[in-house]
Amino acid sequence: MQQSFGVVVVAAGKGTRMGTSESKQFLQLQDKPVVIHTLERFQQMSQCESIVLVTSSHDSERCQHWVEQYQLSKVRDIVSGGKERQHSVYAGLQAAKARGVQIVLIHDGVRPFVDEHHILACCQGAVEHRAAVLGVPVKDTIKQVDAAGVITATPDRSSLWAIQTPQAFRLEDVIQAHDEASAAQRLGTDDAVLVEQIGIPVHIVEGSYTNVKLTTPEDLDWAEWWLERRANKGNEQ
């Protein structure tokens, strides 16, 4: 039997690279906010027991309206984020803890195309190993560059992975990792690095290249095309 889980969906950022006045998670994607596409992905999964949506305080009201409009009954909490993503995640984790969640998935609000079987595989990785993240092998050669723009190293591509979300953990572990990072005034680039820093190995689960984080206008154009492509395939069946 597949382990049930709670999920923290982080949608508190601004996202300046999108080049719009509206936050990227609230941009319209086929007449629906991006974050709603993401939330619906988890809403439809029987294994998902609850969702915490983390957003900025001034967006809470419209998010609550959308949750009701799109009948997202598993969104049990809408909490305000903090100055940094790490602070926003921590607020979400505390809400998940209050709901009695044991396995928690942390997911970007602007990754609406994650596949259900990859979500479940990542969750199972946390059940078996305490911590797991989705990722894909990098396709391009990666160069390390110094401040002057000079290449200083070329890491072996075979050992490099691009990390995605969700990232899955035992709730008590990831809260401990956040607590210790806060006490030491450390900011991590993702939640996995905080868990690594308290000595818990994080396992990689291979995901999909279509689990794109919508960050730039080109990403949004691709997302529109991808949804149309999936709809056309469904009509052909």
What is the enclosing helix (H) or strand (E) of 55?
Answer: strand 48-55
Reduce the secondary structure of 1-52 to three states and give it as a string: CCCCEEEEEEECCCCHHHCCCCCHHHCECCCCEHHHHHHHHHHCCCCEEEEE
**Checking DSSP bridges between strand 5-11 and strand 48-55, what pairing results, if any?**
parallel
The per-residue pLDDT for 194 is: 98
Say how many C-beta atoms besides its own lie within 10 A of residue 123's C-beta.
Answer: 25
Give the integer Cα–Cα distance in Å for 204 and 161: 9
Q: What average pLDDT score do residues 27-42 get?
A: 95
Domain residue extents for the chain: 5-135+162-236
Q: What is the DSSP string of 121-189?
A: HHHHHHHHHSEEEEEEE--SPP-EE-TTS-EEE---GGG-EEEEEEEEEEHHHHHHHHHHHHHTT---S
Report the Cα 103 to chain-centroid distance in Å. 15
pTM above 0.75, yes or no: yes
Using alpha carbons, select from 86, 184, 69, 124 the residue that is nearest to residue 116: 124
pLDDT tens digit sequence for 103-121: 999 999 999 999 999 999 9
Give the integer Cα–Cα distance in Å for 39 and 228: 19
Q: What is the DSSP string of 64-128?
A: HHHHHHTT-TTEEEEEE--SSHHHHHHHHHHHHHHTT-SEEEEEETT-TT--HHHHHHHHHHHHH
Please say if the pLDDT value at position 95 is more than 70: yes
CATH code assigned to 5-135+162-236: 3.90.550.10
> 134 near 163, Cβ under 8 Å?
yes
Rounded to the nearest integer, the mean pLDDT of the chain is: 94
pLDDT tens digit sequence for 72-89: 999 999 999 999 999 999
The per-residue pLDDT for 2 is: 78
Please say if the pLDDT value at position 237 is more than 90: no
pLDDT tens digit sequence for 184-223: 999 999 999 999 999 999 999 999 999 999 999 899 999 9
Give the integer Cα–Cα distance in Å for 159 and 146: 21
